[in-house]
Structure 1
Amino acid sequence: MNLTAAAIARPVATSLLMLGVVLAGVSAFFLLPTAPVPNIDFPVISVSASMPGASPETMAASVATPLEKKLGQIAGVTEMTSSSSLGSTRISLQFDLDRNIDGAQRDIQAAIAAARADLPAALRNNPTFRTSNPSEVPVAIIALFSERMSSGQLYEIAANVLQQKFAQLDGVGQVTVGGSSLPAVRVELNPPALFEHGVSLEDVRAALASANYNSPKGAIEVGDGRLTLYANDQSRRAADYQSLVIAYRNGATVRLHDIAEVVDSVEDLRNFGMSNGRTAVQVQIFRQPGANFVNVLDRIKGLMPPLAAALPADVEMRLVQDRTLTIRTSLHEIGLTLIVTVFLAIFIVYLSLKNARATIAPSVCVPVSLIGAFGAMYLLDYSINNLSLMALTIATGFIVDDAIVVVENVMRRIEAGQPARAAALEGAREVVPTLVSMSLSLLAVFLPILFMGGIVGRLMREFAMTLSVAILVSLILSVTATPMLCSRVLQDHAGPPRFFLLRWSESAFTALHRSYVRTLDIALRFPRVTLGVLLATMALNFYLFDCVPKGFFPIQDSGRMRGAIVADQSVSFPVMKEKLEQFVAILTSDPGISSATASIGGGFSPGGAINVAELLVTLKPLAERKVSADAIIARLRPKLARISGASMFLQSAQDIRMGGRPSNAMFQYTLLADRLEDLRLYAPRIVEILRRSGALLDVSSDQQDKGLRSDVLIDRAKAARLGLTASAIDNTLYDAFGQRQVSTIFEPLNQYHVVMESAPRFRDTLAALDNLYIGANPRAASRIFSARDLGSPSSAVNMATQPMVPFSSFSNFAEGVTPLQVNHQGHFAAITISFNLGPGKSLRDAAETIKEAMAKAGAPATLQGVFAGTAAGYQEALANQPIMIAAALAAVYIVLGILYESFLHPLTILSTLPSAGVGAFLALLGCGAELSIIAMIGVLLLIGVVKKNAIILVDFALEATRRGLSSREAIREACVARFRPILITTLVALFGALPLALGTGEGAEMRRPLGIAIVGGLLVSQVLTLYTTPVVFLYIDTLRSRIGAGAFRWSGFRRRPARETEAHAPL
């Protein structure tokens, strides 16, 4: 007994099995995580090293280069970039998608250990690493406000409490705190007072270091007890340092308050943060690679209420960025689209079959197939995301097709007078080969995708598997549940339709059918013209494929924007702070922006230059702001351009982002050279040409080599006669200007520092170096300086106790320029150009524009350029597009050849595809959409949709030839008899994709290219293939006749045995 007969004979068992599928799917639905897109996070590990006070060039040469040599040897590294700035180096390593992140961490730890011997001794701590991508937008931003507490106190709360608690949550990869720095005791020195007392900066540093100590003291055994020893050897507040004895000079005590002002402040004064115009400390939370976006955010929001209750009453904690709102809204929109698609499909079936009872089977099988797919998604560890829901939306059309083929054939038998039960059994049995052919050939389209690597394969795999599972469930239901329902609900004799809409649709179909028959006869009368149209369509495909703009992934409107403010490289911190406040005021005044969070300094980018500020903007819901994120950026550009001395770059934050280097715009192009001088010479020229081109917007580069510097040119001979070493000179400069951490204060929750440098009134002046003195060797100084020198104010030397000599006595000062940042990619010096696309421009246009700009700039051959980050992903996707189409065609041909046992029949079926391609490409061009990964999925789906119509025609025609009809008569009869099911299946697929193409709301920009490609392809193919397919069938039959009887057997036109013929009875 076959499946169909068993299902009809046991309706209760069949119904319960369907109920089991539904229950499994519903249970899985509530267990499935939600996400904006499939999990395609590239394993990215960020390595950081800190050496306070070191210049960017020093960090690049002595820290970044040794680390890069070892890290670059790790297997699976696809991109290695580094950025060295003042006192800091950060190296980002992006691994292949298939690389195990735990194994990569072990390899990195071993590489750091191997490089430690080559790192400078001044690097006190080993480099650290984290599994987070610095270019990724945080999943959540929490801001702390207070009217009474200082920013340092807020930072302390964030670092000691919030950072630790949030970091412990499952799925959280990194938690950073910015907007200020930890509290510290700041010693602000007075250089003239130091000179008067004969105390050097190194004396002060040594005294501060020895005044604060924490070490074991032991214990005393007294009788039966034990006393642990403690001492007040730690000074914790500024007041504790005021009376610290620094030195004795001429019998007098020199205390710290005599030569400096000691205040309770913060470690780094050059940090600032704000949110919505208010000063704030910010906590940015990043997820681990692979962690579910929504689940992590739900855990964060669940932890916030108890943490807020434990904070001081004056502290306000607010979640200023919450991505789950737009994710859930987007999934809600696509969920509604799915429901609308199901109802549209069922309504089309109702209009086409003109029988409410006949609609019951599709109405049951479609939801069961879709719900059952959720169970498979759970087993495959997938998530509910835009792509998986789009797959189910598109699958609706295929599922309905399967049910229509069965129901329509059963109804035809009932109308011929056969009882419903027998009609259901025989009708389903007849169409099983057709159903299997349609389903397997459709699955074959996605077979190559399952073996593809990289981001394209990872993105499309979840879509393909979800769609494939739904189709397989539908195939099983079509040969079991659908016949069972037909046998139970269809009437043996149904009267004519009474509903006026049904009568109208029948009249419209009859008129359309007559017109088709007339035009079909014309096409068959002039086969060469029809074949010429087909050949022209094939040629047009290649032309349109070259014309349609190519893209990587549709630019999302995620409700978030990230931005950067880049000021003049010589800007001071107070001026930069003022610029930031001006930019934020413009942002918050825009009606489409909900909140804007910004920061300057090293809180989020360790060692970051003070001329760069980071911004993260949250938009209002799309229904409220009415315009896209790109439109908001466009209307903000003129307002932001009015602020002089700084530029602001905004981009819409994306869920799919490649590369580990943050940038000022969506796309990146990296220039590489052996010589840093070539990069510094030609990169500005290229950037300027690109800005004038008009094809690219927001063009900028990460080249920062125009920072001002002051060179201390040491006369080594004089310095040697004074007994001064280079290390002593460097230490004195560091003591005066480097915010040097000279001592550590140990507290129960954290460690704090004592920071020394010159007071601002002596530090922030052009005469700062002239007022600086250093302790010299007494004998050497007495030989060099005469009594006349001692009284000279221009070169005053205090030799009463310790010789204090001015820097001007052994050095000269000169101003110059210095890089604020040194970047590498791989092992080469690199400068990365960031840009957004101009209106109507594609990444292919950008590539051509950049190539022309490099030629105009006269860049030498040694200067190479490569796309980086997302733009590099685009190049990979562009190279894979023809391969995917060719592989899909090959897979379909092989499967069809196996099913039909023919080399020629698959060609007839595949001849329907060129018209679908033309329709898809024309629709994309007409709607201004790119041929992105999402649109490419639509093109591949068309291969499966369009060929189903050809399969129906070819199956019917082959059976007609076995009954003795000529090929011409057989194919004409097939076209006339199967016009209704072909029209129904096409309309169902068309209306299934139409809500995607016309969709609005959150996430519509991702769904629209898929719908546009399918709708355009179906419209054109439906018009052409109903004429070209029969003509191709005739030409192939002619070819078979000319090949002769020897090849007859191989062409698949051999006569089949009676039993085989029965299995392929007419539909």
Structure 2
Amino acid sequence: MPLAIGIGKDFLPQDDQSQFEVTVKLPSGSSLQGSEEVMKQVEAELAQLPGVRALLTRIGADIRRQVDRASVIVELVPIEERKQSQQELMLMARERLARFRDLTIGVQLPALIQGATRYDLQFYIQGPELDRLEKYASVLMQRLSEVPGVRDLDSSYEPGKPEVQVRINRDKAADLGVSVASIAGALRTLVGGDEQVTTYREGEDRYDVQLRVSEEFRNSPDALERLYVPSAKLGNVPLANVAELVETTGPTQIMRWNRQRQIMIQANLVEGQSLSNVLAVLNRTVDELNLPPEYRTGLIGQTKEFGRAGRAYLMAFVLAIAFMYMVLAAQFESFIDPVTILLSLPLSVPFALLSLMVAGENFSVIYSSVGIFVLFGIVKKNAILQIDHIKAIRRSEPVGRLEAILRGCEDRLRPILMTTLSLVAGMLPLALGGGAGSGSRRTVAIVVIGGQTLCLLLTLLITPVAYSIFDDIAHAPLWARMREMAGAGAGSLRRAWSGVTGLLR
């Protein structure tokens, strides 16, 4: 249990894909020309990394196509042609780009969906008031920044976007017969335009007519004040008579989910930091904040799938033990012998986790769990070889239990050792090899090699000892009396059932 709690747990291992993505978030309100100049400097820094083969820069790389968002896809030469691994080059990229103080930069694997992000950690906080959400998010981000191995920390809340707020004098507007809807409609047409104010026919063709005020009449608050809005009493009224224009700043976007405002916190994990350790820090910080009931937190994206996969793995673990017990009970026609065989399985798990810790790997819920199930199959097979041969000797020869155990273990020692050595030899190339997908293969191989090798001696000792103990229990007087009572009860039930069926006939 201490090993299971202490080892770091991740969703997927980190593979060398010979490419990574650098996402860049420029200050709010940056122009296209300014973003292009900054990205040229970012490209120049990334081009100096060893092993870079090509760069692809996109401006407006997010879902909303904002010109102050950009990304660079860095393609590397094959792993055989470079000395540094992809993870080392990603760390070097972070160090080189650290001089851009005004930029928010993330370095991660390329996103599977264009415009999306692929952060290792994605955490949200949700509630009705944006100001309180910003306060809570700031506390969480401050705590995460103190955790070693947490990089590229970012928040979806971005204040500081220049904007003009229209503050309507509702009493004055009511006196002049101007509705709030008419003011909003006029401003919308002025700034954003109307995509279809009417239609124009020419023969059989029909064209939509769009309306938008020229740029020189909508690029300043003074120009907006000259706008006229319709009045039910006076015809048209200047906007300045019913509203005040105030220059201020605000968030670039307000995220919502289920009609609640939401702020998302994202980060990447480097230098062996595990997702489970970071989530534990987040959960403790949320408990310390003592959030009101209308505020809640949660996980999304890959981080959410990590929790779901962990619960599914525990369910699969329990079901695997149950199905193995049922199959073994049917094979040996005994309820005790399967327990003797399955006792070796819990002994293999600590050694598998210890092997991962020694190798500096985290437990991958997807791949390391596969290695655990493979390990169960091998360890269980070794125990079956011992128990089956011991029982065969006792049935075929008039020997005592101790002699049968000694002979059975001696006869089955060679095949068990041969099976273990062949398995370890087959897994060594996976554990030591490189290339594409080596990270995924390595986590499976280390679990099987370490778990089988280290628990071999214990299973060779524990299985015969457990068989001897359970055999004593099976032949104990108390157990014999319980079997007699169970047999008598079964006989009474059979006689009662025969009587009932006889009456029915």
Aligned to 2:371: 938
Give the C-alpha shift of residue 1027 in structure 1. Answer: 2.2
1:742–1:756 CA contact under 8 A, matched in 2: no
Equivalent position to 1:582, from 41, 46, 51: 41
Q: Secondary structure at the match of 1:936?
A: helix
> Partners of 2:168 and 2:322 in 1: how far apart?
74
Three-state SS of the structure 2 residue aligned to 1:644 is coil
Deviation at 1:763, TM superposition (A): 5.2
- For the aligned residue pairs, the C-alpha RMSD in angstroms reads 3.5
Secondary structure of residue in 1 paired with 2:154: strand
Asked if structure 2 preserves the Cα contact closer than 8 Å seen for 1:557 and 1:629, the reply is: yes
Per the TM alignment, residue 705 of structure 1 is displaced from its structure 2 partner at its CA by 4.4
Given candidates 602, 605, 609, the residue that maps to 2:63 is 605
1:646 to 82, 85, 103: 103
Q: Distance in 1 between matches of 2:130 and 2:274?
A: 31
Distance 2:149 2:294 in 1: 26
Q: Is 1:1021 aligned to residue 475 of structure 2?
A: no
- Distance in structure 1 (CA, Å) of the matches to 2:434 and 2:185: 63
Q: Does residue 822 in structure 1 map to residue 254 in structure 2?
A: yes
TM-score normalised by the chain length of structure 1: 0.41
Deviations 1:152-172 (A, max 9, x none): xxxxxxxxxxxxxxxxxxxxx
**Would the alpha carbon gap of residues 879 and 725 (structure 1) be closer, same or farther in structure 2, given more than 3 Å must change?**
closer
Tell whether the 8 Å contact from 1:600 to 1:614 is kept in structure 2 after alignment. yes
How do 1:304-319 residues align onto structure 2 when only pairs under 5 Å count? none
Match of 2:444 in 1: 1010
Q: State the secondary structure of the residue aligned to 1:902.
A: coil
**C-alpha displacement at 1:936, in angstroms?**
0.9
Secondary structure of 2:367's counterpart equals helix
Which of 255, 272, 290 does residue 840 from structure 1 map onto? Answer: 272
Code of the residue aligned with 2:327 in structure 1: it is: V
> Residue by residue, what CA displacement relative to the aligned partner does 1:199-242 show, whole Å, maximum 9, x if unpaired?
xxxxxxxxxxxxxxxxxxxxxxxxxxxxxxxxxxxxxxxxxxxx
How far residue 1019 of structure 1 moved from its aligned partner, in angstroms, is 0.6
The Cα shift of 1:727 comes to 5.5
Q: Give the structure 1 partner of residue 81 of structure 2.
A: 624
Q: Is the 8 A contact 1:671 1:830 kept in 2?
A: yes
Indicate how the Cα distance of structure 1 residues 648 and 674 shifts in structure 2: closer, same or farther if over 3 A, else same: same
Matched position secondary structure for 1:841: coil
Equivalent positions of 1:810-889 (< 5 A) are: 811-855=243-287, 859-889=291-321
Letter in 2 for 1:686: L
Which one has a bigger Cα radius of gyration?
1
Of residues 355, 358, 362, the one that matches 1:926 is 358
**CA displacement at 1:706 relative to structure 2:** 3.7
Asked if structure 2 preserves the Cα contact closer than 8 Å seen for 1:706 and 1:819, the reply is yes
* TM alignment of 1:51-62, pairs within 5 A: none
1:808–1:644: structure 2 CA closer, same or farther, 3 Å change rule?
A: farther
- Cα deviation, 1:659-716, whole Å, max 9, x if unaligned, reads x994462221111224444323322232233223335222211123442211233456
Distance 1:824 1:858 in 2: 22
Alpha-carbon spacing, 1:664–1:898, altered in 2? closer, same or farther (3 Å): closer
Structure-2 residue corresponding to 1:987: 421
Deviations 1:461-491 (A, max 9, x none): xxxxxxxxxxxxxxxxxxxxxxxxxxxxxxx
Could you tell me how far 1:938 is from its partner in structure 2? 0.9
What's the counterpart of residue 25 of structure 2? 566
AA paired with 2:13? P
Amino acid at match of 2:133: L
Q: Structure 2: how far apart are the matches of 1:593 and 1:586?
A: 11
Query: Equivalents in 2 of 1:671, 1:934: separation in Å?
Result: 30
Deviation at 1:648, TM superposition (A): 1.3
Q: CA deviation at 1:983?
A: 1.3
CA contact (8 A) 2:111 2:118 kept: no
**Gap change, CA 1:560 and 1:693, over 3 Å in 2:** same
Aligned to 1:948: 381
Provide structure 1 residue ranges, at least 5 long, that are not aligned to the other structure.
Answer: 1-541, 782-802, 1051-1067
2:272 touches 2:362 (CA, 8 Å); kept in 1? no
Matches within 5 A, 1:115-134: none
- Conserved 8 A contact 1:560-1:619: yes
Equivalent position SS for 1:916: helix
The equivalent residue for 2:132 is: 678
Write the distance in 2 (CA, Å) between the matches of 1:1029 and 1:871. Answer: 40
1:557, CA displacement in angstroms? 3.1
Contact 2:182 2:229 in 1 (8 A): no
Q: CA shift at 1:844, angstroms? A: 1.7
How does 1:87-486 map onto structure 2 within 5 Å?
none
Report if the CA contact (8 A) 1:690-1:853 is conserved: no
Change (3 A) 1:722 1:1037: closer
Q: What's the counterpart of residue 1042 of structure 1?
A: 476
Give the CA deviation at 1:887.
2.0
Alignment check: 8 A CA contact 2:430 2:445 kept: yes
In the other structure, the counterpart of 2:494 is: none
Paired positions, count = 476
Letter in 1 for 2:323: A
Corresponding position of 2:166: 712
Structure 2 letter corresponding to 1:852: R
Deviations 1:13-59 (A, max 9, x none): xxxxxxxxxxxxxxxxxxxxxxxxxxxxxxxxxxxxxxxxxxxxxxx
Shift of 1:564: 2.8
**Paired letter, 2:276:** R
Paired position in structure 1 for 2:434: 1000
The equivalent residue for 1:155 is none
For structure 2, the 5+ residue unaligned runs are 486-505
SS of the aligned residue for 1:693 comes to coil
State the match for 2:499 in structure 1.
none
Q: 1:966 aligns with which of 367, 389, 400?
A: 400
Q: Specify the alignment match of 1:694 in structure 2.
A: 148
**Are 1:978 and 2:412 matched, yes or no?**
yes
Residue 593 (structure 1) shift: 3.4
SS at match of 1:700: strand
Q: Give the Cα separation in 2 of the matches to 1:746 and 1:639.
A: 59
